Amino acid sequence: MKFMDKYFKARKDKGSVLCLGLDPALPDQRSKDTIEKIYCGDVSDCIQQFSMEMIEAAGEYACAVKINSQYTLFALNFKRLQMLTESIHNYGMLAILDHKLGDIGSSNDSAMYWMEKCHFDAFTFSPYAGNIREATEMAHERDLGIIVLDLMSNPEAEGFQKKCRFNKTPVYLRVAEDVATAGSDGVVVGATGHVKEKDISSVRKTIGEDRIMLFPGVGVQGGDIKKIKESGGRNILINVGRDIIYEKNPREKIVEYHKKMKI
């Protein structure tokens, strides 16, 4: 099944566009927003167990689970990742690896070989090296969806993605054009800071209706769900991470966000 069809099925089953963001940080990693110390013996077990519990809590409610490579890959090898994606799929959710892959041909292919082995449904891709068409073809050969970083909300992204121009087109719109012609499955667009409704609408217009827009930055980062729904259209995923997974009662927060993101 194509990634977009999997997405339509999961969205219908869950009745929501909520995507759970799994960014599990260890207790000694930073001063707040971490897994509680009491749960952590072996760090790989700790990250895996915490992730499994969050997947279970989200199982009835989230359309997708987005696993962040920068928090998990050093601790969880492919066998552990397979266990996570198996659980995600058993609940009828999509498994997305937020990998921001952005390499040349053979290295991209290697990452996709491993992501296919781990049974991910899709991954995120960073287009600094271009290669959107090539990467999309390679991904689809392995039945992987590819979601391309387009317009991020951190202040410096405004410089590199909006103010830089390819002929006269801002980079983020050029990336959106490439996504449309390459047939990639979607884009990542920020939902806070310098990213305004008109930017989101421009991206949607450029990529067309039949692709996903994935919005990180809701919850702690303050993204506005109403603004996203109005400008992004129906085919969206809205990611919430920290504001769920580090709460006393994650399931309660999940139910709350599920409602807000009903479709």
| Residue ranges in contact with a second copy by CB under 8 A | 23, 25-26, 29-30, 33, 43-44, 68-71, 73-78, 81, 100-111, 113-115, 117-118, 126-132, 134, 149, 152, 154-157, 159-161, 163-167, 171, 174
- CB nearer to a second copy: give 151 or 225: 151
- CB nearer to a second copy: give 109 or 143: 109
Cα dihedral 22, 26, 29, 33, rounded to 10, equals 60
Q: CB within 8 A of 210, min separation 6: which ones?
A: 4, 235
In whole angstroms, how close is the CB of 80 to a second copy at the nearest point?
Answer: 8
In whole angstroms, how close is the CB of 12 to a second copy at the nearest point?
Answer: 31
Beta bridge partners of 239: 19
Measured between alpha carbons, how far is 225 from 257 in angstroms, rounded to an integer? Answer: 10
Reference 11, options 186, 220, 249, 243; nearest CA is: 186
In whole angstroms, how close is the CB of 96 to a second copy at the nearest point?
Answer: 15
In whole angstroms, how close is the CB of 154 to a second copy at the nearest point?
Answer: 5
Beta bridge partners of 22: 67
HEC profile for 137-201?
HHHHHCCCEEEEEEECCCHHHHHHHHHCEECCEEHHHHHHHHHHHHCCCEEEECCCCCCCHHHHH
In whole angstroms, how close is the CB of 13 to a second copy at the nearest point?
Answer: 29
Reference 226, options 210, 215, 241; nearest CA is: 215
In whole angstroms, how close is the CB of 227 to a second copy at the nearest point?
Answer: 20
- CB nearer to a second copy: give 37 or 234: 37
Q: What are phi and psi of 237, to 5 degrees?
A: -130, 135
- CB nearer to a second copy: give 33 or 53: 33
- CB nearer to a second copy: give 8 or 39: 39
Sign of the Cα torsion 107, 111, 117, 123 reads negative
- CB nearer to a second copy: give 87 or 154: 154
